[in-house]
Amino acid sequence: MAKVAVLGPERARDVALVAGMAGSGRLRAYVDGAGNSIHLHVAELGAGETVTVGPMAGDCAAYVWQGAVSAGGVALDTGSSAIVERGASLELSAGEEGAQVLLFSGAEAGSGAGGHVHLLPAADVPRMAAEAGSSGVSGGLHADSACETCAVWLHENHFPAGMDLSAEQAERGVHSHTEDEIIFVIGGDIRLGAKIYGPGTALAIAADTLYGFTAGPAGLSFVNFRAAMPGMISFAHGAQISETGYWQEKVPRPVYLSPLAA
């Protein structure tokens, strides 16, 4: 996996439905191939079009970026998610306005037993509100790697408009993670150095790579995926914090709808 790869919508490739996926919609590949431990595809579905995820070798996390889908008889609006464990499958069917669904997956077999699907409507996502007097950052936790049968991690963060960090503040935010990760911009803009990238931009970042970003003038919303439980966040200035510990202090564990059989 490259240290840091920035992939805008123009770099996403139309691909035939890959192993473990089938359906009638358009599939675009952001991150794939044998050299990457985690993959990202975006399913663009017109009204009534479907994509079936699984069975796959690794666990998959689906996030409804735009529109709405029906899955297992459950309506999943924008901001909802689903986990399709290895060996399981799930059909997502777009509503009248169509949908765009982010499909994150581990390239290798997961560590859990697999065989289930977990659904998490947007209204049920455990959320972290912005604290009074803080930077105003909020978020939500979709998958915490603590499931008995799967290991994926998926969270979202929202940075408010008008965050104007000094160069010193931005420098303090430079950090690395102990796992490969993918960040996908779902709203606003992400600033990387002197460049600003909008919605539909993906960042693929290798483990132990130092990087930093700030929100653009319109704010920033993104989702972040790992194929396994996160470990430490290490800052360039030397501090370390446990990522799972950080979230455990802020929000309860996700409570999914009853798991669907494979």
> Which run of H or of E encompasses 168?
helix 167-172
Q: Which residue range forms the structural domain that includes residue 201?
A: 127-250
Maximum distance among all Cα pairs of the chain, rounded to whole angstroms: 51
Domain edge (last residue) among 69, 101, 124:
124
The CATH number of whichever domain residue 230 belongs to comes to: 2.60.120.10
The verdict on 25 and 95 lying in the same domain is yes
Question: CA of 92: how far to CAs of 106, 107, 224, in Å?
Answer: 19, 21, 21
The predicted-structure confidence for 141-180, as pLDDT tens digits, reads as follows 999 999 989 999 999 999 998 777 666 666 778 899 999 9
The pLDDT value recorded for residue 200 is 98
Percent of the chain scored above 90 by pLDDT? 75
The verdict on 92 and 152 lying in the same domain is no
The predicted-structure confidence for 54-113, as pLDDT tens digits, reads as follows 999 889 999 999 999 999 899 999 999 999 999 999 999 999 999 999 999 998 766 667
Q: Are 217 and 161 in contact (CB under 8 A)?
A: yes
In a domain? residue 262: no
The verdict on 109 and 139 lying in the same domain is no
The verdict on 65 and 137 lying in the same domain is no
In a domain? residue 258: no
If one counts the domains in the chain, the total is: 2
Output the CA torsion sign for 17, 118, 230, 108.
negative
Domain edge (last residue) among 103, 124, 145:
124
What's the whole-model pTM score?
Answer: 0.95
The verdict on 19 and 117 lying in the same domain is yes
Q: Are 212 and 168 in contact (CB under 8 A)?
A: no
